[in-house]
């Protein structure tokens, strides 16, 4: 066990993560199955005795999961670090359907003050059952609980499984920024790919199904609920060649972030995410030479562009599997250019306040459009300038309450803003301060030091103070990244 404790001392060096980010797919699946079966065993051991038939299936499933991992690792450790579980040095990924099991295990380990569980071949079914019942019998919130648990396991003849202490806070300083980026990046580009596929299928009149769309939106919901800033940062990606697809995904992310702050549950967030992803789907019927026109639209061309909300309703009707989601998606596609004061387009005979989802999407749509270099608007606004202009439209084009929530989400200096600090360092805002009284003190990725030298991998919290109580850094002003030839999106990739 001393070797296990030594191995648990992996330290964060401030620049590179000491933890691997990849494992083989079988081991990855084995780790997920292991977490699922552990939580089943812990729950079952609280209501049934050790000989109950209810344990047969979870014990068998857990043995199968262990066998998969043991093929590559004769000894391994499941570790708790902060809010995450690791298999040795690799974070265990989970899908939305695994979330309940994952969160249960995190809370169970925290409650018992257990920081790790080590498995060593050979593990028997009796070892697994004895471990589960011994763990469940431990009193919560007890110091040195891992030592007591290990003593009890030894008394019961369990030598193949043991536990370790909760790591000190400074040991949990893993490079989670890089780790979160990797997961968010994969999900983001999956969403772009799925959106491209849906639009191309509709345009070519091929069958289009909702299954992939729903799965990728649920993946984004998962990230927003756990690691909002990592996916929000990717909305700074403004691919000119794939503007429509990126724009749809960006709007979906921004809209769901608003929904999350409003307290939407996962199902409602998924509905909002799908509706906002489809908001511009009607553009598949706008001729590409008009969409890509480098100069201003003629009056006739503008009339064609303004038809895309109506065409969006028709396009969504062709998507299979929408079911109850069809109505909200069609409404948003139709209404996202109808303003809060009921002006805008398309014009309707009876003036009605746009649907709640539509008012959310309208804010997300305007923000992403204003900060993007589109064909007919090649010079984008900086995030803070876009926010300022939207503030002027609040109560006229935009729902004032929803806009206030949106402004609080992205802060005084929105994610993706290039800033100069009073130290003369340049930085990129990557996470807003959750304290509404400190919206001007976000977290920043440093780009250059005080003498203009490029730096990589360092992040700072502008809410941090020195021993005298003064802030270490304060934003002096926001800058236009084009003037400094800086591609901000690359810092989120």
The full set of domain ranges for the chain reads 2-172, 176-410, 418-492
209 membership: H or E segment, kind and range: strand 208-209
Highest mean pLDDT among 101-110, 316-325, 442-451, 457-466: 442-451
Q: What is the CATH number of domain 176-410?
A: 1.10.3210.10
CA atoms of 242 and 239, how far apart (whole Å): 5
Residues 6 or more apart from 253 whose CB is under 8 A from it? Answer: 188, 220, 224, 231, 232, 234, 235
Gap between the Cα atoms of 91 and 104, Å rounded? 16
* pLDDT for 55: 83
- The token pair that represents 416 in the structure block: 């993706």
pTM (2 decimals)?
0.64
Residue range 32-57: mean pLDDT, rounded: 86
Which alpha helices (DSSP H) does 373-448 contain, by range? 383-393, 400-410
What is the rounded CA–CA span in Å between residue 416 and residue 324?
Answer: 35
Burial 225-253 (b: 16+ CB within 10 A, else e): ebbbbbbbbbbbbbeeeebbbbbbbbbbb
Q: Looking at the predicted structure, is the pLDDT value of residue 33 above 70?
A: yes
pLDDT of residue 9: 32
Q: Examine residue 25 and say whether the peptide bond preceding it is cis (omega within 30 degrees of 0).
A: no
| pLDDT at 367 (0 to 100) | 94
Joined tokens for residue 285: 């019927």
Using 50, 70 and 90 to split pLDDT, how confident is the model at 311?
very high
């Amino acid at each position: 066990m001393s070797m296990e404790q030594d191995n648990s001392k992996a330290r964060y060096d401030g620049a590179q993560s000491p933890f691997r980010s990849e494992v083989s797919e079988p081991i990855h699946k084995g780790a997920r199955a292991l977490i699922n079966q552990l939580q089943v065993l812990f729950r079952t051991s609280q209501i049934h005795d050790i000989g109950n038939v209810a344990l047969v299936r979870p014990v068998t499933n857990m043995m199968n999961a262990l066998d998969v991992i043991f093929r590559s690792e004769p000894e391994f450790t499941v570790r708790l670090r902060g809010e995450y579980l690791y298999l040795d040095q690799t974070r265990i990924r989970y899908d939305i359907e695994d979330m309940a099991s994952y969160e249960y295990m995190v809370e169970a380990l925290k409650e018992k003050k257990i920081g790790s569980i080590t498995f060593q071949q050979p593990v028997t079914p009796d070892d697994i059952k004895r471990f589960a019942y011994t763990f469940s019998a431990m009193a919560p919130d007890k110091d040195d609980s891992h030592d007591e648990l290990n003593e009890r396991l030894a008394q019961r003849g369990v030598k193949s499984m043991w536990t370790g202490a909760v790591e000190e806070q400074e040991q949990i300083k893993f490079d989670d920024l890089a780790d979160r980026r990797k997961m968010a990046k994969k999900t983001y580009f999956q969403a772009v790919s799925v959106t491209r596929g849906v639009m191309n299928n509709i345009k070519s009149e091929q069958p289009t199904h909702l299954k992939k769309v729903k799965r990728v939106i649920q993946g984004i919901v998962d990230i927003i609920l756990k690691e909002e800033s990592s996916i929000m940062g990717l909305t700074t990606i403004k691919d000119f060649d794939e503007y429509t697809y990126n724009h749809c995904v960006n709007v979906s992310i921004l809209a769901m972030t608003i929904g999350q702050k409003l307290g939407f549950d996962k199902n409602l967030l998924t509905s909002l995410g799908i509706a906002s992803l489809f908001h511009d789907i009607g553009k598949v019927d706008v001729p590409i030479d008009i969409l890509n026109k480098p100069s201003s639209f003629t009056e006739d061309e503008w009339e064609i562009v303004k038809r895309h909300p109506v065409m969006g309703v028709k396009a969504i009707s062709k998507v299979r599997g929408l079911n109850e989601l069809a109505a909200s998606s069609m409404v948003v596609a139709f209404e996202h250019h109808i303003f809060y004061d009921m002006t805008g387009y398309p014009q309707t005979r009876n003036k009605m306040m746009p649907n709640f989802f539509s008012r959310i999407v309208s804010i997300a749509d305007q923000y992403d459009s204003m900060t993007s270099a589109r064909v007919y608007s090649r010079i984008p606004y900086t995030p803070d300038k876009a926010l300022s202009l939207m503030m002027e439209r609040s109560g006229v084009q935009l729902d004032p309450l929803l806009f206030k929530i949106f402004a609080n989400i992205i802060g005084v200096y929105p994610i993706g803003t290039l800033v100069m600090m009073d130290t003369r360092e340049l930085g990129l805002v990557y996470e807003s301060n959750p304290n509404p009284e400190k919206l001007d003190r976000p977290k920043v990725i440093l780009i250059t030091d005080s003498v203009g030298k490029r730096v990589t991998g360092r992040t700072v919290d502008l809410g941090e103070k020195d021993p005298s109580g003064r802030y270490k850094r304060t934003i002096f002003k926001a800058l236009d990244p084009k003037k400094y030839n800086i591609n901000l999106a690359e810092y989120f990739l």
